Amino acid sequence: MHLNKSIYSLLRKSKILKKGMLFPNKKKIAKKKRRNTKTNNLGLIFDYIIVGTGPAGAVLAKTLTDDKKTSVLVLEAGDNNDRDVPISNSTFAPELEEKFFPQYFWQGEGIPQKGVDDRSFEWTTGRLSGGGSSINGEQYVRPTSDVLSQWESLLGPLWSPQEAITSFKELEDFNGETDNPNAHGYHGRIDIRQAPVNPTTMAEKLVLAMEQATGFPEILDYNDPNTPLGPFTRWQLFQKPNGHRESASTAFLSPDIMTSDGHGVNGRKLRVSFESTALRVLFRNKKAIGVAFLKDGRCVHAFARKKVIISAGINSTPILMLSGIGPSKLLREADIPVVFNNPNVGKHLRNHTLNTATFTTNPNDQALPPNDPSALYTGGAFLPSPARIDNPSIRGVQLIGIGNNGLLQIAIIYLKPKSRGSIQIQNKDPLKIVLADEGFMKNPADLEAVKAIYQIYIKNIAEELAAIDPDYKLISPTLDVINDDEKLEEFIKQNFGHNHHQQGALRMAPLENGGVVDNRGNVHGVENLMVADDSLIPFTVDGNTTAPAYLIGFTIAQQLMEENDWYLEE
Of the candidates 435, 468, 495, which is a domain's last residue? 495
* Same domain (yes/no): 257, 117: no
Contact between 79 and 126 under an 8 Å Cβ cutoff? The reply is no
Q: Which residues pair with 565 in a beta bridge?
A: none
100, part of any domain: no
What backbone phi and psi angles, to 5 degrees, belong to 523?
Answer: -70, 130
Alpha-carbon dihedral sign for residues 292, 296, 298, 303: negative
Q: Report yes or no on 533 lying in a domain.
A: yes
Flag whether 90 is in a domain.
Answer: no
Please state, in angstroms and rounded to a whole number, the distance separating the CA atoms of residues 349 and 328. Answer: 19
CB atoms under 10 Å from CB of 368, counted, come to 22
Q: Are residues 512 and 553 in the same domain?
A: yes
- Residue 99: CB atoms within 10 A of its CB come to 12
d(CA 444, CA 419) in angstroms, rounded, equals 8
Instruction: Report the domain count for the chain.
Output: 2
Which of 447, 477, 495 terminates a domain? The answer is 495
pLDDT of residue 566: 53
User: CA-CA distances (angstroms) from residue 457 to 367, 415, 461?
Assistant: 21, 15, 6
Query: Residue 512 contacts by C-beta under 8 Å, 6 or more apart in sequence?
Result: none
C-alpha distances out from residue 120 to 100, 114, 233, 494, 520, Å: 15, 9, 34, 11, 35
Residues 218 and 206 reside in one and the same domain: yes
Report the sign of the C-alpha dihedral through residues 521, 523, 527, 530, in that order: negative
* Residue 535 is assigned to a structural domain of this protein: yes
Are residues 374 and 290 located together in one domain of the fold?
no
240 with 256, same domain: the answer is no
pLDDT (tens place) for every residue of the chain, 570 residues total: 334 444 445 544 444 443 333 444 444 434 433 333 333 333 489 999 999 999 999 999 999 999 999 999 999 999 999 999 999 999 999 888 777 788 999 989 999 999 999 999 999 999 999 999 999 999 999 999 999 999 999 999 999 999 999 999 999 999 999 999 999 999 999 999 999 999 999 999 999 999 999 999 999 999 999 999 999 999 999 999 999 999 999 999 999 999 999 999 999 999 999 999 999 999 999 999 999 999 999 999 999 999 999 999 999 999 999 999 999 999 999 999 999 999 999 999 999 999 999 999 999 999 999 999 999 999 999 999 997 656 778 999 999 999 999 999 999 999 999 999 999 999 999 999 999 999 999 999 999 999 999 999 999 999 999 999 999 999 999 999 999 999 999 999 999 999 999 999 999 999 999 999 999 999 999 999 999 999 999 999 999 999 999 999 999 999 999 887 655 444
Put residue 68 in one of left, alpha, beta given phi > 0 → left and psi -120 to 50 → alpha: left
- Can you give the pLDDT at residue 38? 34
Domain membership of residue 330 as a residue range: 5-82+247-345+504-569
Residue 131 domain flag = no
pLDDT for res 393: 82
| Residues 545 and 487 placed together within one structural domain of the fold | no
What was the pLDDT predicted at 387? 75
Residue at 139 is within a domain: no
In a domain, 154, yes or no: yes
Report the C-alpha gap between 537 and 540 in whole angstroms: 7
169, 223, 420 from 179: Cα distances, Å: 15, 11, 37
User: What is the domain-level CATH number for residue 16?
Assistant: 3.50.50.60
Instruction: Please check whether residues 355 and 457 belong to one and the same domain.
Output: yes
Do residue 235 and residue 255 come from a single domain?
Answer: no
Within a domain: 51: yes
Q: Please indicate, yes or no, whether residues 488 and 475 belong to a single structural domain of this protein.
A: yes
Residue type, 320: L
CATH code, 219: 3.30.560.10
Q: Do residues 240 and 359 share a domain? A: yes
Q: What is the DSSP letter of 142?
A: P
Q: Report whether 313 contacts 132 (CB < 8 A).
A: yes
The angle at the Cα of 545, spanning 49 to 55, to the nearest 5 degrees, equals: 30
Q: CA torsion sign, 34 to 37 to 39 to 44?
A: positive
Beta carbons of 386 and 315 less than 8 angstroms apart = no
Nearest to 60 by CA among 343, 433, 310: 310
Distance, CA of 542 to CA of 142 (rounded, Å): 8
Residue in 3, 49, 2 with CA at minimum distance from that of residue 22: 49
Last residue of a domain, one of 495, 521, 538: 495
What's the confidence (pLDDT) of residue 403? 96
- 490, 358: one domain: yes
Taking the whole predicted model, whether its pTM rises above 0.85 is answered as: yes
d(CA 177, CA 236) in angstroms, rounded, equals 10
411/464 same-domain check: yes
